[in-house]
Structure 1
Amino acid sequence: MATRMAAYYTRLRKVLRHIDTHLADELTAAHLSEVAALSKYHFHRQFSALLGIGVYRYIQLRRMKRAAFQLAFRLEQPITDIAIANGYDSPEAFSRAFKRCLGQTPSGFRRLPQWWAWHEAYHPIMASEARHMQHLIPQEAVSLIEFPATRLVAMAHQGHPALIGNTVRRFIAWRKGKQLPPHRHATFNVLYTDPAESPPADFRMDIGVATELSVAGNGEGLFEIILPAGRCAVLRHIGSDDTLAASVHYLYAVWLPQSGETLRDFPLYCQRVRFFPDVAEHEAITDIFLPLL
């Protein structure tokens, strides 16, 4: 029975990845049923029964998520290009759909994103995938490395995790002004607290870039932090940040007890290797580092 269910979920994952990679295309239920190798007469019901959300609503929310990230974090992308990249024939059709979904026009969201409304709109996908789509981590996924001391210039986010997009926007604007592109200067997050366990007001995460640039008198709230040299367990997380917590949980709850290793007195941190929305969400890469003695 377990093997049959695993095969069934594999079909559905194939469909979700296909949607994620083809958001600019026409995505019909008939075509998606072929991708899943399921009957077109039953695909709608099978999809909604497993995910708790209809296929067309799922596609719309996926398009709106990528569009929102492009509007908020890729300010150089014209709104017309974002509309076309997410399957809309015209900026007007995109604007109407975006406003119905998020309560703001695309240009309004670009100026001042209302992240609470975004999280509320996107929650059905996060909840359904958390319930039904197990995040699989192979046993050989964790490796041990010697991490070199790395200096970061960082900006702290303190407060509700839902509002981290505002801090990210400020940080992106600063690093663009300083010509510190991600392909030449690695991007790191230092995770001081667990958002699932700490009060939202106590959540703290630093967003940093590897650079020797001075931050003296910057006026932007930036500071220097050193990621110390030392042994680390590293787990490569591939996919959405929605399942990043599952990878972190695996490190602490499964790998660490079996490894016999002892943790070092430094927070968990991660490196952003490939970024959504520049790549399809299931192709994003984040390396998670667990400091060890």
Structure 2
Amino acid sequence: MTAALRNYHERMLRVLDYVDQHLDDDLDLDLLSGVAAFSKFHFHRQFTATFGLSVHRYIQLARMKRASYRLVYRDEERVTDIAMDAGYDAPDAFARAFRQRFGQSPSSFRKSPDWEPWLAAFGPLDNARSKLMQKTFTTDDVIIRNVPTTPVAIMEHRGDPATLGATIQRFIAWRKAAGLHPRTSPTFNVWRSERRPQSPTDYSVDLCVGTDQAIEANGEEIKAGEIPGGRCAVLRVVGNTDNLEPAALYLYRDWLPASGEEVRDFPIYCQRLSFFPEVPEHEAVAELFLPLK
């Protein structure tokens, strides 16, 4: 990549970071073109040409994604407050826009979200973000760490990854009831299948929370287990932690063959250190662990 092109991309990325950090603000073209240091007369076309979305559409989708996460995963928040933070003057206007995009009212989505239209609606946003946000990893990004054995409570997700959001919703509700807050009880995902297996029914991931206390299932299918201790190659990922496949592929394809290491008989897993929407999406942090002999 030429220095000029890299500089151009960095200026565009500044805009995305700024939008993420200021979703509650008035984000007009004059302001955002200034963030990028581009002419306001050309910026909107430059943005659309780069990301495949207009500035207005990108901001709308970013606000709506945050709102949908808050509806499902923060049931203590009022729909009215979520609507206002999404840039709508009244809950009715928010409800109309939400229903038009997802086929459900906000209250219905909160109770029983239909995830397939949700995934489809945010495809353009995820595509836009991935255009310039592909992280290039190097061996310096990987450290070998001896990790302790961690007792965990496990909720298994088995089946179509399109329904994973419903399992996550139940998992969050259960851990809230159990008093296992992410600030005090670490969160792990253990992948027991490919991200996109040949048959969606073969998708398998464990949602885990670190705890050594007695587990009360409270009607959920929760079991006790552990993440075994030992040597691990650890790769930290900042931003776009919804999809850790590129980081996993780097470990398997590039780092592992060159390292001379051998993998241990336990799946690759991650610890989620900060979460969207608690932090802006580009500031979410996860660490990927590849167990080694």
TM-score, with normalisation over the residues of structure 1? Answer: 0.94
Name the Cα RMSD after superposition: 1.7
Q: Secondary structure at the match of 2:233?
A: strand
Distance 1:14 1:137 in 2: 20
Q: Secondary structure at the match of 2:246?
A: helix
8 Å CA contact retained: 1:274, 1:284: yes
Q: Which amino acid aligns with 2:278?
A: D
The answer for the alignment partner of 2:282 in structure 1 is 282
Q: Secondary structure at the match of 1:194?
A: coil
Q: Structure 1's 54 and 226: CA in aligned 2 closer, same or farther, altered over 3 A?
A: same
Q: Secondary structure at the match of 1:249?
A: helix
Q: Which amino acid aligns with 2:162?
A: A
8 Å CA contact retained: 2:178, 2:216: no
Unaligned runs of 5+ in 2: none
The answer for the alignment partner of 1:238 in structure 2 is 238
Distance 2:69 2:27 in 1: 21
The answer for the alignment partner of 2:21 in structure 1 is 21
Distance 1:133 1:282 in 2: 9
8 Å CA contact retained: 2:241, 2:285: no
Give the share of equivalent positions with the same residue, in percent: 46
Alignment of 1:249-288 (within 5 A): 249-288=249-288
Post-superposition offset of 1:218: 5.7
Q: Secondary structure at the match of 1:6?
A: helix
Distance 2:243 2:176 in 1: 28
The answer for the alignment partner of 1:142 in structure 2 is 142
Post-superposition offset of 1:280: 0.6
The answer for the alignment partner of 2:86 in structure 1 is 86
8 Å CA contact retained: 1:24, 1:88: no
Distance 1:184 1:216 in 2: 18
Counterpart check, 1:153 vs 2:149: no
Distance 2:72 2:127 in 1: 23
Q: Secondary structure at the match of 2:231?
A: strand
The answer for the alignment partner of 2:115 in structure 1 is 115
Distance 2:176 2:119 in 1: 27
Q: Secondary structure at the match of 1:241?
A: coil
TM-score, with normalisation over the residues of structure 2? Answer: 0.94
Q: Secondary structure at the match of 1:146?
A: strand
The answer for the alignment partner of 1:99 in structure 2 is 99
Distance 1:180 1:290 in 2: 25
The answer for the alignment partner of 2:54 in structure 1 is 54
Post-superposition offset of 1:145: 0.5
